A and B are shown apart, each in its own frame.
Chain A
Amino acid sequence: MALSLRGGRNSESRPSIPTASTGDIAFLILIFFMSTSMFAKEKGLKIVLPEKGEATKIKAENILTVAVNPTGQVLVGDQVVNIPDVRELIVKRLAENKELAIALRVSRRAPYNTMIQVFDELKLAKAERISLMPVLTEEATGAP
């Protein structure tokens, strides 16, 4: 026995755990995870809703109503504006009055896409205080 071990010294056979396949195993798991999972692509426009019954009093002169009517027309104050021009107008109004809060009042029949485009413009104009006015009945879409 001892002799045969001594003879084996020539080929230098040390005991070892075979590690050649760990890479293959790991890649198998990797492919499994790659095929079963997907990157979360959650992104969007953030807003914090006001709490129910928590009415913050804002002076009437500090409120600017931006309205979208059922045909998708946009009114800033009582002036009809094209959507790409909203940003410029809001920036101008914000420069005049830093306290300005914007009330976004969108008709129930207006397309959601139009509302998002207007909301995007408000965000791009760096408007901090935006609130979404709930319109419960269709009669309420006009000027306040």
Chain B
Amino acid sequence: MRKIAGKKHTAPDIPTASTGDIAFLLIIFFLVGTTFRAGQGLKVVLPEAQSTERILKRRNVQSIWVDKTGRISVNDNLVAASGVTSILSEKVIDNPDVVVVLQADRDVSYGYVTDVLEALKDARALKVTFATGYRMGGGG
């Protein structure tokens, strides 16, 4: 018994064959769970709301930024409200399910936001989400 076991040359080691599989599993997790940033956008401080919902279909998302001074940015271009219509109407033709996420600063006047909303109506991009941060309930 002893002699045979000695012949088989069993060196003690930790099995490493599965680490690659584990790591690939993590890669797949990160690939599915993340998206590459399409554009930097503008610097905004989002308002907070209690009824904030997650957007599930992230592939259909088109962001529009409106900063504190009322500048509007789509795909890293500064545009006027009329420019929003022309860019978005192309998007809507490509993908009718596009969801516009309006990343507007909390201190901007509502007039800029309503101009963007009118431009979106003209472009027939009717699914809109106001980007907000989540606020815990309780106080209200």
A residues apposed to B, CB below 8 Å: 10-12, 19-20, 22-23, 25-27, 29-30, 33-34, 36-40, 42-52, 68, 83-84, 87, 106-117, 119-121, 123-124, 132, 134-135
Contact = CB atoms under 8 A, between A and B. Distances in A.
Chain B, interface SS category: mixed
B122 interface: yes
Contacts, number: 170
A134 B130 contact: no
Contacts of A47: 128-130
B126 A48 contact: yes
Contacts of B109: 108-112
Interface residues on B, range: 35 or more
A48 B114 contact: no
Contacts of A22: 19-20
Contacts of B78: none
Given A108-B111, A111-B107, A124-B51, A44 B130 contact: yes
Interface string B45-74: 001011111110010010100000000000
Contacts of A45: 49, 51-53, 129-130, 132
Interface in B95-128: 101-102, 104-114, 117-118, 120-122, 124, 126-128
A47 B122 CA distance: 16
A26 to B, nearest CB: 3
